[in-house]
Chains A and B, each alone.
Chain A
Amino acid sequence: MRDHTLNPFIKYLGRRFLFLLITYFIALTIVFILPRVIPGNPLASLLSRIFQQGQANPELLRSVERTLMQEFGLGKPWIVQYVEFISRALRGDLGTSISSYPKKTLELIIPVIPWTLALLIPSILIAWIIGNTLGAFAGYRRGSLVDKVALNTSLIIGQIPYYWLGMLLIFLFTVKLKIFPGQGGYTQGTIPHFSINFILDVLSHYILPSLSIIISALGGWAIGTRMLVVNELDSDYVSFSEHLGVKSNTIFGYVFRNSLLPQVTGLALSLGGALGGALITEIIFNYPGTGYLLFRALSTLDYPLIQGIFVILIASIYLANFFVDFVYAIIDPRIRLGQGES
């Protein structure tokens, strides 16, 4: 039945939003369950540190253990913990970290987000620009030497896992050539401050992880665009323009722009996933971003921190998806109308 009173656009967005909420809720549930299925004791690293400080008074250990179990509600049944987690998450309280107790998880997550975004967004954009340009040229000069070289290189590079590439880069530029540092966001022991030296230091630490992301993402974009361009070249308007004697540069411009549309979607999605996008890169390079924080949280079984990071990661991916849906609905009436009728 067709509802004439309701704007199909609003209706479409409403549907998407409802869908988003349901999937987000499911994702939260999975995030809650997963760390608890991993064997191990989340209080272990904390309590063993008390041992190490030469304070192994049994009474102290016992009371700390008891207090922490209460504090984090770890002794309670899962279902109670779950209800508490969800209700707190809805109130924007992502809990207190266990390994960095008494810091709030948000206090730990927020400072590392800029590092990850600064690493990923420019790298993704650069890879996207270079990859697409390369792919378009290759596609336009289909069969030429340029195409063959570009296609084959892209195919090979696209298959290299980015973490492997990261390790290769560290081996080459840090161990062998000693040009760039392979660890951290800036030299260990320096206090972050505003100065040319510090900015240069940050940049020199930036290059290798960024390069590993650019190189490995580039191939995929290039191959994709090449395919799209090749398809586009077969379309009527291209042959028509050619017959009209339009300059080849101009035709290339049209073709490029038309084949770019699906790649824009891809870009939006990978930007949306940026926060969790390069987990392993960050681990390899010890880069102080969300991925590295998640790694540390996992290795200490810090439930609240793991949950907190995922809640933010998933939210950012979902929001990106929603945004893409929104943009699409504006650009392409077929989508909103088609959805509205079904």
Chain B
Amino acid sequence: MKGLKGKFLVSLLCFFVLLSLLLPVKSTAQVAIPRDETVYCIGGIWGPPTTWNPYAANVTWGTEPFLFAPLFYYSNAKDAWLPAIGEGYKVVNKTTIQVKIRPQAKWSDGKPITAHDVVYTFELTKKVGTGPGAGWDAYIASIRAVDDRTVEFKVKTPNPNYFSFMGYALGTRVVPKHVYEELEKKGLTAVREFAHDDPAKQVVSGPYKLFYADPNIVIYGRIDDWWGKDIFGLPKPKYIAHIVYKDNPSANLAFEKGDADWASTFIPAVYELWEKKGLPVRTWFKSKPYYMPDGVNFLYISYFKKELADPTLRKAIAHAIPYEEMLEKAYFGYSPQAHPACVIDVFEIYKQWIDYGYSRYLWGTKDGKIPTDLKKANDILDKAGYRRGPDGIRRTPDGKRLGPYTIEVPYGWTDWMMMCEMIAENLRKIGIDVKTEFPDFTVWAERMTTGRFDFIISWDAGPGYDHPWNTYRFVTDIRLTLPFGQSSWAGNWTRYNNPETTKLLDEIAATLDVTRRKALISKFQRILQKDLPGIPMFYGAHWYAYGEFRWVGWPREENAWWFPAANWSANSLPVLFGIAKRGEVPRVPAWLTTVDKGGILIPTSLIWNDLMKAPTK
């Protein structure tokens, strides 16, 4: 007996030793990075890192903002472009724009970044099917290198789409031709499956590159001899790290404890952190709504069920949504009610696109927003002939019962789940039989993208240089979608189909005349608010919070030197140039203002103007 037990113990021990050898241990990696040189992030990545190759469908968090620079970064709060690899642009004529590349621009392996890299990036994207600037060939007629430092873009005509043209020509990230050419020789699969995960061999254009990654953590390290340091200086943190947390609560706890500095998560009652707990923590605004907006969130009603297509019925539903109560109770006041024109009115620059007069007239409120008014909703339905049955549920004029319908969001999205309950309750009050359903995310997403849903809460395309056109297209363009039952993520999930709005979309995108554009957008808004393909409810919050335990000077309402500022945002890199270690005085770089104030930011309106004044040929 003793012998047997002894053998077991020995073999057990051997087994342990063997296994410890098998564990994925990299003894060469540095054990820990200095905390005071590192900005720790939360909310950017929730699973093991995958790839740092822009041609892969799911690049790891950080690749876009920190590793690969575009020609220009865009700030949607300033509506201006920050020249990065690009130095400036020249409008040749109404259909042609040339971008100059900075002579200093170099890849991290020392090779210069040239116009040929830019041209190659686009060509490869077309071949691979995904990647930087995917889909460019629908809007751009040609991209060519005039010389080593000049790229020329020509917009597709007739009916040029200047919005998409501008986005592709200025905002696309560039990849190193000399690296990808080698891969392409092995085939397109090699391009797609390239992980680009070896810190020693990674070739990037941004001021950071991969330092270390395993399934639990991603660390980027600053390139101290980065080509842009004489122009921009260096970003302040030596490292940017992101631990892969299991869920929101564990990530938020790390943020609250000061273990993380840059937060892009949903934090319930975030104001308590500084108001009650007195922590050195803040969001963009010190008081409500605390967060900047990041797009419009809609109540989408699918056209799959014919009876739900009636604009009158949709109008009644719009009046039944408890906007204020819902945002207060379920969303912690993180967003104001959305404007029915679908224009984000928190950004001053976008307000010019709202036809306030029409909205005021239509909805009967001072700001033109939709009032919650159950009595009015009931009156509208009564008048339109939707009579209540014995069960209190209304019937359409031709006798079809309104319901049972479902309103659904993914399980676990607690803020939206609560909104669903509140909306469903009010809809029942006006005689529409709606139940809530909270399926798994993949199930919800499938129903959303195939159009087979009744009511869902979901997002739009987000703000940009093309706002609100971008939102309008996303919500209404039938060309973005496929028939009911076929999955299409690109937009118009309700399958709204109106040739008039489709034509208007093209006209808005084709005009360079601001007055004309305003008139067209106003015309669009009238149809949008009448048909209500989606009911704009509130602006989704741009999750950006920072802890000043270790790093100070983050952009905020009082000192709004850069936005977008969430750590996952593709344009957030400048944030890292203006913060400072606690104890040091943060200085906002001088280049972060517009050209008229001595900086280098180019307002979008300036580019429009140049195009407008340019000769036709």
Residues of chain A at the chain B interface (Cβ within 8 Å):
39-68, 70-71, 96, 99-103, 108, 111, 114-115, 117-118, 121-122, 125-126, 129, 183-184, 188-195, 199, 202, 253, 256, 286, 288, 296, 299-301
Known A-B contacts A50-B57, A190-B32; the reply to A42 vs B25 at CB < 8 A is no
Some 26 contacts from A to B, beta carbons below 8 A apart, are A39-B443, A41-B443, A44-B441, A44-B442, A52-B568, A54-B462, A54-B564, A54-B568, A57-B134, A57-B461, A58-B135, A58-B491, A59-B136, A60-B134, A64-B129, A65-B489, A67-B128, A71-B192, A102-B51, A103-B50, A114-B19, A114-B23, A189-B217, A192-B214, A193-B26, A202-B23
B27 interface residue (CB < 8 Å to A): yes
| Inter-chain contact B134/A59, CB cutoff 8 Å | yes
B269 interface residue (CB < 8 Å to A): no
Chain B residues whose C-beta falls within 8 Å of the C-beta of A183 in the assembled complex: 246, 250
| Inter-chain contact A101/B490, CB cutoff 8 Å | no
B470 nearest CB across to chain A (Å):
8
Please measure, in the bound complex, the distance between the C-alpha atom of A46 and the C-alpha atom of B57, giving whole angstroms.
Answer: 8
- A41-B487, A46-B58, A102-B194 are known; give 5 further A-B pairs, CB within 8 A: A39-B443, A53-B570, A100-B48, A114-B19, A188-B245
| Inter-chain contact A62/B19, CB cutoff 8 Å | no
Q: Which of A125, A188, A286, A300 has the most CB of B within 10 A?
A: A188
| Inter-chain contact B135/A62, CB cutoff 8 Å | yes
Q: Which of B58, B64, B167, B441 has the most CB of A within 10 A?
A: B58
Chain A residues whose C-beta falls within 8 Å of the C-beta of B164 in the assembled complex: 59
Please measure, in the bound complex, the distance between the C-alpha atom of A70 and the C-alpha atom of B128, giving whole angstroms.
Answer: 12
- B1-59 with Cβ < 8 A to chain A: 1, 5, 8, 12, 15-16, 19-20, 22-27, 29-32, 47-48, 50-51, 56-58
Number of A-B contacts (CB under 8 A): 191
| Inter-chain contact A60/B8, CB cutoff 8 Å | no
Please measure, in the bound complex, the distance between the C-alpha atom of A192 and the C-alpha atom of B96, giving whole angstroms.
Answer: 53
Known A-B contacts A39-B443, A41-B442, A54-B569; the reply to A65 vs B192 at CB < 8 A is no
Chain A binding surface SS class: helix
| Inter-chain contact A102/B195, CB cutoff 8 Å | yes
Known A-B contacts A45-B441, A57-B134, A65-B487; the reply to A51 vs B22 at CB < 8 A is no
B176 nearest CB across to chain A (Å):
19
Contact pick for B129, options A39, A47, A67, A108, CB 8 Å? A67
Known A-B contacts A56-B462, A64-B134; the reply to A48 vs B47 at CB < 8 A is no
| Inter-chain contact A111/B462, CB cutoff 8 Å | no
Contact pick for A192, options B26, B135, B195, CB 8 Å? B26
In the complex formed, the residue of A with least CB distance to B76 is A54
User: Interface size of B by Cβ–Cβ distance < 8 Å?
Assistant: 77
| Inter-chain contact B25/A194, CB cutoff 8 Å | yes
Chain B binding surface SS class: loop
In the complex formed, the residue of B with least CB distance to A51 is B459
**Which 10 pairs between the two chains have the least Cβ-Cβ distance?**
A59-B135, A40-B442, A44-B445, A41-B446, A67-B129, A58-B490, A102-B193, A114-B22, A62-B490, A60-B134
Contact pick for B23, options A54, A115, A191, CB 8 Å? A115
Contact pick for B57, options A101, A108, A190, CB 8 Å? A101
Chain A residues whose C-beta falls within 8 Å of the C-beta of B499 in the assembled complex: none
| Inter-chain contact A47/B489, CB cutoff 8 Å | yes
Q: Which of A62, A65, A301 has the most CB of B within 10 A?
A: A62
A232 nearest CB across to chain B (Å):
16
Q: Which of A62, A101, A188, A189 has the most CB of B within 10 A?
A: A189
Chain B residues whose C-beta falls within 8 Å of the C-beta of A65 in the assembled complex: 487-490
Known A-B contacts A51-B459, A117-B19, A129-B5; the reply to A58 vs B473 at CB < 8 A is yes
Please measure, in the bound complex, the distance between the C-alpha atom of A217 and the C-alpha atom of B214, giving whole angstroms.
Answer: 33
| Inter-chain contact B135/A100, CB cutoff 8 Å | no
B141 interface residue (CB < 8 Å to A): no
Contact pick for B480, options A62, A114, A129, A195, CB 8 Å? A62
- B431-463 with Cβ < 8 A to chain A: 439-443, 445-446, 449, 459-462
